[in-house]
A and B are shown apart, each in its own frame.
Chain A
């Protein structure tokens, strides 16, 4: 069950009258936590429908967990969990009842469904609240219940659509923590989100799509590049540091109260350290400027018309 690629997409195209939602997409994604980021009507909901076998591709094929979606969508769906972005829970039932029923709808026998519902509700942190009707739940509790119904069938892959939407910062942190843990349970995650920060924090792999076309697909780590420019915060004494660096032949400037220096190797790093020490300046921050996923995205996606 753990072997094999998670998702294989080959020349996938989906055209609607007037718009091409997916345009010749080819992907080979490993198991783990994958972030799906899109711009310009990238058709994130179309992607989910295609993966669930609820829409037929105009061209190309999709393979989820080794199963061809076109030929056996039912079996694909039995391996998937889905957490939509919109409100989708029956409000007059209790969380325990809803999750248990959805467990049965995933094909689990009634007793097993009840058992798993209880386990999963523990996992997502819904305690006594699970016996209250969902109509009284806060956004955070509803999101957790939505995640619970996606997990109750023990899926191989969960599709999460903006799981942190509407959550306050604390709730967002808790949700991201939950999502991060899913990997350790052997559950892969495909998380669609507009927040690159969430992706950087939680996902091992990123897929970026712009107007239906693939922009980039790669490991999160590998996409973040080191630039060779080092940023230093010496608390307002930037000019002194720049002077000191210049005497050693290292170019640097002051920008927004911080010093940016071009460091070309280990020796230069050590020289920087020594100069700060000699000048007895406080070293508050030292970092090699990393591009953030934001910059990667903006740089590589096309300019919206």
Chain B
């Protein structure tokens, strides 16, 4: 249902400073995502995971390659057009507004301000408190609250393809399992193709297929078991050619 054909994304290399040298973030990624499947994207920091997710949503424009969604070439479509085609995105760093409430966002996402319908969505996402609806989506919200709003607005789109970028950031440990169940339920009940970018084992274990992205390329696809040797390497900073030795301040894992 989503086909990435030889996707490249390059930006001017800031360290080079003259704007002529290009830095390749996505280096020829090709992959086909199947309808109703759960994909986990993982890999080292700076490897290109978020860039890939944003490229699918149209937030980044790929420099080369083609994106086919449900048989349609969406490579040149704007974010808005892709959203209207059924792609939804849960941001890692959620936008904070002034004067925009959760109700406003949810109404936009759901395309209705009908109280009953909004309540249905809230129930689906597992919000018990209705007071929450009129809270401003501003900097006063906690990290956990804003992630739930991010999740709710994504699910409210009833998307064909849902992309979640690190949905567990700022969420307490006890909320992760219900979140995984919620995302899985969207897959079984609505056939939502789901891509989750995460380092969290709870998401990676739940995925039908893992993609390990390293240096802008797909280093591995398959199940978690097969990925384990590579992933455990990550935890001791085993990316020798990335870390350029044992001591490298850029590599925290």
Q: Do A and B come from one complex?
A: no
Chain A residues near B (Cβ < 8 Å)? none
Chain B residues near A (Cβ < 8 Å)? none
